[in-house]
Each structure stands twice: as C-alpha cells, then as structure tokens.
C-alpha cells in the first residue's frame, strides 16, 4: 500500500541516521510515556442499534462514539446471506490487513480510508479498523465491495432481488411480542392460555367441501387450511393414494379436558389402574389442557378409509397406508411436520403419533424434516444461530431470524412481507421470502 510503504520506509531511514557514524555516549533514560492506542485500533465499541426488514431488504444500523453510524464489525455481517462476508482475514508484517471478498483480494490500511481491491488503490470516505484481531469496516467500503449492498438511510442494506414499488410499512417487532403465531412451541413446559381460542379459524367443512371429514364444523387456522387443501388435493391425485380423512383439528381448552378425562376413565375401567397411574398413562397419550396443539388451530389428525373400514382410526398402522406414507414423505412441502415421531417422547413429552401433523409453515417444515428435528430442537437451533438462510426445492430463498426481547425492541418490519410468530418461550421468529423461486 503506497501510504503505508512510505511510512515504513521513513521509519527505517530515521534509524539509519541515528546510528550510522555516531559514537556511543551515556544518556539519561527517556521518561516512560503512557501506552497509546495504535492508530489502526478503535478505542470505543461499535453497537448494533437497529434492524429493518421489509421488501427492500435487510438494513443494519450501528453506532460508535467516535464515528457514529459509519462502522460495521465483521461479526455483524453474519446477519447477511452467505457470501457477503470477508474470508481468509489476516494481518501482514507491514501492518496491513488482507482478506478475500467474493473471490476478490482486498488489502486495507487500518485507521485510514485507504484500501486496494484487485490491486487497484482506492479511498473510502472514512477509516476502517483492526482491533484486537477483529475487523471493523466502513459502511461505504462494504457497499463498494459488494454490488448487493447499499449505504442508505444511515445503515447498510442487503437488497432483495426485486425491491417493492411502494414504500413498505414499518412496525416495531415488539408489537407481536407474546402474540400467538404459526411457529409457536406448545408442550407441557410451554402452555398456551385457556382463553386462546385458536388463531384466525375458519370452518373447513364449509370452505373446502370436497375434503373428507369425520365430524361437522371442523375448524383450522386459515393459512394452515389453505396449505392443507393443496396438500390433500395433491395427495389424492398421487398413484395409490385413496382419500385423506380428517379426524380432528381445532379443540377448545374445555373439550381437551374432556378428552383427557375420558382417557383416564378408560385406563381405570379397562386396565384397573388407580387414578394416579391412569392419569400418568393418559398424559403420555393425550396432552394436558393448555398444552395441546389442537387448541391453537394448527394441528390435524389424519386417518384413511382403509383403517376405518377395519374399525381403526388413530393408530400407528397409518404409516403403512398409502395415505400415511405419502404424508410422511411430502407434508413438509406444504408447511406440515409429523409432530411426534418415533423415539422423541423424552423431548416432546408425547408418545409417537403417526397421525398427528402440525402446521409450522415454510421453510420451517422443510428444515425440521431434512434435519430430523422436532419443534423443540428446532427452537433450540434458532436460538443458537439467530439467523438462518435456506433454500427450498422450488428455488425459493428464505431468511429466518430469532429475536430476543432486546433485539426485537431494535427491529422494524413490514408485516406484509415478514411473517412474525411469538415462539412461546421468550422470542420472536421472523420469516421472509427473500426470493420467490416460483416467480423466477
């Protein structure tokens, strides 16, 4: 780097002048000075002050006591899609920092705006820094490196492939805190209130009269119902599949209590168990009121006419029917997961149920199915990683974010483009279709 090389050469020349041709003389020691922070180092932290997620993209805002909103620590770039981060970062003996950005070599002089991209010397309007082995880059330098990044609205914007025509809405993410949503976790440790009467329920029998039902007036969440109808239609057009039969969808808190009490009575009457043992056994099979996914309006129990013709309804034999096999293989494409698979009772608290499917939406169902997760372990994954970028088999690309309360308070979003669900365990899950493969 020209500026840095001149600095290094100047220091060497000074040393030569001091020591060449001079006799050694006794000198009093120079007074010790307090250590000075190197010019390439940043003495005050850079803090994340806000996120904005809408049809334009993901905007990251920061603040620093010395340089305001101009600087971005490299670790914040983990929020961006893969490929929008520097790689192979290292410091040279000359005090420069080198890294690779999307295959292009970059070299910069910390503490200044000077940098080289593909060996072409350039200057950013402000400095970048190398502090304690951490790279902090100027926002406009980042925008110059990456065609998908813009320096706008006092922050760094990762643009979506097709920005919206109209100006998006902006609502604080905290407006959705503790509001029930599609991905919320429901189990014994994470109950829902008795007064939660489902989420935006519709009458399936009236809305989709071509589907087959065991009961009248079956209710389900509207979004879940739309994908359910598409899934059933596709299944019934598949070779070997007869007709899907819906057994149970939404149940109220009081109805769930009746279901549990009936199961307890059966264990007492048919097995001779005392109430304590009968209750314990019943709770392995039937969710306690307030912990049933059916109360949310997001769960569906299926069976087949083959099973009902044999006098069976909800049974593990559903796996062996064409209908059960098709659901196991394809339900994730429509946002549904098998909620209680084999060998997961210690995690879910419920024994294996071949018939019980839960709607979580795309892309969550695909991630859970591909990685052999259950909703509990998926939540743990989201909390740990906080940001997921994923692509579905139709080419659609999604951004999923998990926000704690502090980060939610710093986040603005457009609810027309961003799905929001309370996790029911102290967080928010944001879901955005970044690029719709079906429209490309």
By annotation, the residues acting in catalysis are 353
In angstroms, rounded to a whole number, what is the distance separating the alpha carbons of residues 181 and 73?
33
388 Cβ partners below 8 Å, 6+ apart? Answer: 367, 382, 398, 399, 400, 401
Q: Which helix (H) or strand (E) holds 229?
A: helix 222-236
**Beta carbons of 423 and 430 less than 8 angstroms apart:** no
Phi, psi of 373 (to 5 degrees): -100, 170
In angstroms, rounded to a whole number, what is the distance separating the alpha carbons of residues 378 and 384?
10
In angstroms, rounded to a whole number, what is the distance separating the alpha carbons of residues 225 and 89?
49
In angstroms, rounded to a whole number, what is the distance separating the alpha carbons of residues 212 and 140?
59
In angstroms, rounded to a whole number, what is the distance separating the alpha carbons of residues 23 and 102?
55
Q: Helix, strand or coil for residue 87?
A: strand
- Count CB-CB contacts under 10 A for residue 119: 9
Structure tokens at 428: 């928010």
Convert 389-439 into a string of H (helix), E (strand) and C (coil). Answer: EEECCCCCEEEEEEECHHHHCCEEECCCCEEEEECCCCCEEEEEEEECHHH
Alpha helices in 86-221 (DSSP H): 139-145, 204-207
- In the sheet where 155-159 sits, what is the strand order? 149-152, 155-159, 57-64, 46-54, 411-413, 171-172
In angstroms, rounded to a whole number, what is the distance separating the alpha carbons of residues 98 and 192?
52
> Which residue, 100, 136, 132, is CA-closest to 116?
100
In angstroms, rounded to a whole number, what is the distance separating the alpha carbons of residues 306 and 265?
29
Q: Write down the residue that tokens 């100006």 correspond to.
A: 167
- Count CB-CB contacts under 10 A for residue 190: 17
Structure tokens at 74: 């490299």
Does a cis peptide bond (omega within 30 degrees of 0) precede residue 363?
A: yes
């Amino acid at each position: 780097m020209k500026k840095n090389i001149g600095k290094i050469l100047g220091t060497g020349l000074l040393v030569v002048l001091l020591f060449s041709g001079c006799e050694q003389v006794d000198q009093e020691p120079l007074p010790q000075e307090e250590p000075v922070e190197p010019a390439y180092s940043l003495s005050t932290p850079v803090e994340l002050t806000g996120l904005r997620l809408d049809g334009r993209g993901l905007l990251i805002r920061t603040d620093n006591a010395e340089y305001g909103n101009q600087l971005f620590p490299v670790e914040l770039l983990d929020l961006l899609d893969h490929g929008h981060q520097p790689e192979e970062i290292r410091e040279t003996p000359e005090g420069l920092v080198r890294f690779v950005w999307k295959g292009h070599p970059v070299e910069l002089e910390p503490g200044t705006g000077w940098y080289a991209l593909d060996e072409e010397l350039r200057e950013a309007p402000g400095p970048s820094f190398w502090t304690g082995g951490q790279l902090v880059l100027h926002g406009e330098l980042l925008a110059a490196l990456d065609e998908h990044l813009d320096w706008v609205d006092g922050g760094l914007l990762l643009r979506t492939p097709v920005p919206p025509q109209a100006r998006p809405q902006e609502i604080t993410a905290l407006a959705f805190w503790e509001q029930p949503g599609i991905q919320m976790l429901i189990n014994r440790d994470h109950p829902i209130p008795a007064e939660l009467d489902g989420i935006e329920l519709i009458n399936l029998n009236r809305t989709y009269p071509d589907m087959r039902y065991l009961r009248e007036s079956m209710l389900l969440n509207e979004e879940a119902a739309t994908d359910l109808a598409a899934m059933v239609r596709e299944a019934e057009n598949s070779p070997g599949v007869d007709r899907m039969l819906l057994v149970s969808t939404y149940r109220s808190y009081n109805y769930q209590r009746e279901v549990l009490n009936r199961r307890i009575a059966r264990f007492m009457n048919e097995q001779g168990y005392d109430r304590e043992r009968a209750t314990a056994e019943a709770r392995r099979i039937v969710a306690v009121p307030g912990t049933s996914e059916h109360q949310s309006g997001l769960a569906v129990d299926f069976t087949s006419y083959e099973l009902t013709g044999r006098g069976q309804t909800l049974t593990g034999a559903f796996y062996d029917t064409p209908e059960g096999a098709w659901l196991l293989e394809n339900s994730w494409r429509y946002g549904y997961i098998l909620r209680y698979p084999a060998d997961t009772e210690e995690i879910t608290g419920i024994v294996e149920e071949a018939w019980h499917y839960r709607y979580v939406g795309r892309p969550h169902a695909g991630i859970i199915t591909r990685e052999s997760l259950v909703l509990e372990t998926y939540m743990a994954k989201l909390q740990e990683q906080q940001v997921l970028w994923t692509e579905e088999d139709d080419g659609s690309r999604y951004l999923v974010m998990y926000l704690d309360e502090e980060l939610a308070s710093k986040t603005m979003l457009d609810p027309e483009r961003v799905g929001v669900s309370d996790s029911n365990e102290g967080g928010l899950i944001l879901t955005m279709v970044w690029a719709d493969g079906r429209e490309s």
